[in-house]
Structure 1
C-alpha cells in the first residue's frame, strides 16, 4: 500500500491495515482526487492477489468498497491521525498501537517531534464519523 501511494504521489501520514479493513490519511498530489480511485483499485487488486496466493485460492474478492473524505480543518486532521494510529487498539488487537506491525503508530512516534506526538495524542476521536464496525 505504501509503495503504491508513493507511486501515485501521495504522502502517507497515518495508516492501519487490519484483516478486514484499512484506513489511511495522506497528503494528496495535485491530481489526487482524480487518481484516488485508480490508486485504490490497484491497492485492492494487488493485495487481493497476494492474500489469495497465501491462502491458496484464486479470484476471491478481498476488498469490497472504500470511502474517502477531504480533511479541511486542522483539528479534524489531528483527530483522524490519532484515530488511524489507534485503530488496532480500538479493535482489540493490541493494547498499545506501537505494538501493531501494520500501522503507522510506531513510525509516527519515532519520526515525529515529541511536540507533534503530544499534540496528536491530545485530540479526541469520539466525534469522528467513520464506518468502522467490522
Structure 2
C-alpha cells in the first residue's frame, strides 16, 4: 500500500506501528481503517463470530524529529518486554524486533536501542 514499515508489535489488546507514509495514496486514516477491518475479520473468523469490534480506539502521531523517530523504534521493538511477555523482545513472535536485529547494521541497531523509552508519552496502559 506504499507504506515503508519500520517497526510493529501486536498484542491481544493493542498494537504499535511505525512507518513512512507514501507521498501519495493511502494515508494514515485509510491505513488504520484497513488494519482494523482486516484484523477484526480475521480474529472474528478464528473465534467463529461476525461483526464484533476488535479495536476500540486509535490515535496516531506524526513524527517530525529524528530523535523522536528513533525513540519510537526502540519503544515498539521493546514493547513485549515492557509488558512482561518475554525477557528478550526478539523472541516475541508478533513483533519486528527479531527482524530489526537481524537485518539492521549494528551501529544503527545500537543507536536505536540506546534510546531511553520510559519517558515517551504514549498511552500504553493495557495490562
Q: In the alignment, does 2:87 pair up with 1:109?
A: no
Q: Identify the residue that residue 67 of structure 1 maps to in structure 2.
A: 59
RMSD over aligned Cα atoms: 1.2
Question: Could you say what secondary structure the match of 2:5 adopts?
Answer: strand
Distance 1:28 1:48 in 2: 23
Q: Identify the residue that residue 17 of structure 1 maps to in structure 2.
A: 10
TM-superposed CA distance for 1:55, in Å, is: 0.8
The structure richer in helix per residue is 1
- TM-score for the superposition, normalised by structure 2: 0.94
Q: Identify the residue that residue 87 of structure 2 maps to in structure 1.
A: 95
Q: Identify the residue that residue 80 of structure 1 maps to in structure 2.
A: 72
Distance 2:107 2:5 in 1: 20
TM-superposed CA distance for 1:31, in Å, is: 3.3
